[in-house]
Amino acid sequence: MSGIPPPNVLIVGGGIGGLFLGILLERQNVPYVIFERTKEPKPLGSAMGLDATIMPVFEQLGLLDELMSISLPCKAIQMLGPEFNIMTAIDFKTYKEVTGYEMAMFPRPKLHAFLESRIPREKIVYSKKVLSLEQNDHGVMLRMSD
């Protein structure tokens, strides 16, 4: 490993992506701060699914078993039209057999809380709306609304 110190990372947004990036950086001991515009976590959103393309990352992080313990089983998905008629359907009965992983469904707030619980509280700053970002050879400057 080189003697170059890791960069200080500024993450704008404490959603699913920002929190996941924070977890990855935390595991690598890379300093970071997450700036979130809301005053506190809000249980927004509906159902979301995680498939076999992301599950190996959760497995490498040692989080897969716990993640699956809060997930809901998903054996099929039906996409409905405006009149609730079935437009298309996807069958996941053999998904684990083919991919090695279950298809996992979550209420978005539950997944968000799961990810957020892995981030030290002092690394998430709430009520910070980013207005602009400037980057040059010396670093990055964020302008906040306050």
User: Over the stretch 43-62, which tens digit does the pLDDT of each residue have?
Assistant: 777 889 999 999 999 999 99
Closest to 105 (Cα-Cα) out of 46, 22, 29: 46
Mean pLDDT, the chain, rounded, equals 93
| pTM, full prediction | 0.86
For residue 2, tell me if it sits in a domain. Answer: no
Domain that holds residue 47: 9-144
Would you say residue 81 has pLDDT above 80?
yes
* pLDDT mean over 107-120: 95
pLDDT, average across residues 32-42:
92
Give the span between the Cα atoms of 146 and 144, in whole angstroms. 5
Q: Is the pLDDT of residue 122 over 60?
A: yes
User: Is 85 strand, coil or helix?
Assistant: coil
CATH code where residue 100 lies: 3.50.50.60
Domain count, the chain: 1
